[in-house]
């Protein structure tokens, strides 16, 4: 059986290294990625390994210095699920600095990620304008 907590730690390191090849080795061929921003209630959805890779590449393109700090991982081995909480920081292409708390809900099957569902806090207010996630 796969150690999910170890996989979540490895995934966080791979995301911080912006290493798509390393990230994608953890994903099943039939995987789903749901990003926090998008045109639907679930954000933007990418299905299948190729589409998930493209979705993740767009994150690195849109926030080239994205970093996930202070990760905390929660695991339910019986349900083959895990949650990673973190603080995302990064700078958008137009120079806006982001700092938001968020989490990823992961589902695993046969030692591979089948679903990654991401959530970010929405930062509001004039004093936070430079730190808000793009809408």
Portion of the chain with pLDDT greater than 70, in percent: 90
DSSP single-letter state for residue 127: G
Q: What pLDDT sits at residue 134?
A: 45
How far is CA 118 from each of CA 1, 38, 43, 59, 123, rounded to the nearest angstrom? 25, 12, 9, 12, 16
The Cα 83–Cα 65 span in angstroms is 23
DSSP single-letter state for residue 135: -
Q: Which long-range contacts (CB under 8 A, 24 or more apart) does 53-57 make?
A: 53/20, 53/24, 56/20, 56/23, 56/24, 57/20
The Cα 1–Cα 104 span in angstroms is 21
* DSSP E strand stretches across 50-111: 67-76, 81-91, 97-109
- The residues near 58 (Cβ < 8 Å, ≥ 6 apart) are none
Q: Which domains, and CATH codes, for the chain? A: 4-131 (3.10.450.50)
**What average pLDDT does the chain have?**
91
> What number of helices (H) and strands (E) belong to the chain?
3, 6
Q: What pLDDT sits at residue 125?
A: 62
How far is CA 75 from each of CA 23, 35, 78, 83, 111, rounded to the nearest angstrom? 19, 21, 9, 6, 14
29-60 per-position pLDDT tens digit: 999 999 998 999 999 999 999 999 999 999 99
Q: What pLDDT sits at residue 1?
A: 47
Asked whether the predicted pLDDT for residue 132 surpasses 80, the reply is no
* Mean pLDDT to the nearest integer, 113-121: 97
The Cα 8–Cα 75 span in angstroms is 9
């Amino acid at each position: 059986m796969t150690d999910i907590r170890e996989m979540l730690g490895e995934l966080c390191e791979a995301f911080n290294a912006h290493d798509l090849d390393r990230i994608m080795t953890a994903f099943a061929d039939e995987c789903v990625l749901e990003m926090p921003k998008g045109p639907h209630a679930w954000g933007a959805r990418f299905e299948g390994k190729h589409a998930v890779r493209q979705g993740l590449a767009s994150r690195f393109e849109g926030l080239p210095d994205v970093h996930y700090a202070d990760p905390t991982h929660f695991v339910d081995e019986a349900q083959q699920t895990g949650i990673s909480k973190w603080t995302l920081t990064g700078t958008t292409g137009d120079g806006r600095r982001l700092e938001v708390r968020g989490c990823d809900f992961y589902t695993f099957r046969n030692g591979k990620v089948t679903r990654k569902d991401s959530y970010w806090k929405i930062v509001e207010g004039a004093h936070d304008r430079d730190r808000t996630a793009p809408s």
